[in-house]
Amino acid sequence: MNKPPHVHTKPTRKEAEEAVRTLIAFTGDTPGRSGLTNTPDRVVRAFAEHYKGYDEDPAHFLQTTFDEISGYNNIVLLRDIPFYSHCEHHMAPFLGVAHIAYLPSHYVVGISKLARVVEMYAKRLQIQEKMTAQIAQAIETHLKPLGVAVMIEATHHCMLGRGVTKTGAQLITAHYTGVFQTDLAKQAEIRTLFLK
Ligand SMILES: [Zn+2]
Instruction: Identify which of 157, 148, 101, 150 has the alpha carbon closest to the alpha carbon of residue 121.
Output: 150
| 170 given a catalytic annotation | no
Q: Kindly report, residue by residue over 67-113, the tens digit of the pLDDT.
A: 776 777 889 999 999 999 999 999 999 999 999 999 999 888 888 99
Q: What is the pLDDT of residue 116?
A: 95
Q: Answer whether residue 73 is part of any domain.
A: yes
- 37 and 90 share one domain: no
- Catalytic member of 18, 50, 137, 158: 158
Q: Answer whether residue 87 is part of any domain.
A: yes
Let me know: does 160 contact 121? Beta carbons within 8 Å.
Answer: no
pLDDT < 50: residue spans in the chain: 1
Compute, in angstroms, the gap from residue 126 CA to the centroid of ligand 1.
Answer: 9
Compute, in angstroms, the gap from residue 34 CA to the centroid of ligand 1.
Answer: 32
SS3 2: coil
Q: What is the DSSP string of 43-85?
A: HHHHHHHHTGGGG--HHHHHS-EE---TT--S-EEEEEEEEEE
Q: Which domain holds residue 88?
A: 57-195
Q: What is the pLDDT of residue 2?
A: 55
Q: 10 Å Cβ neighbour count for 64?
A: 11
- 35 and 77 share one domain: no
Q: What is the number of domains present in the chain?
A: 2
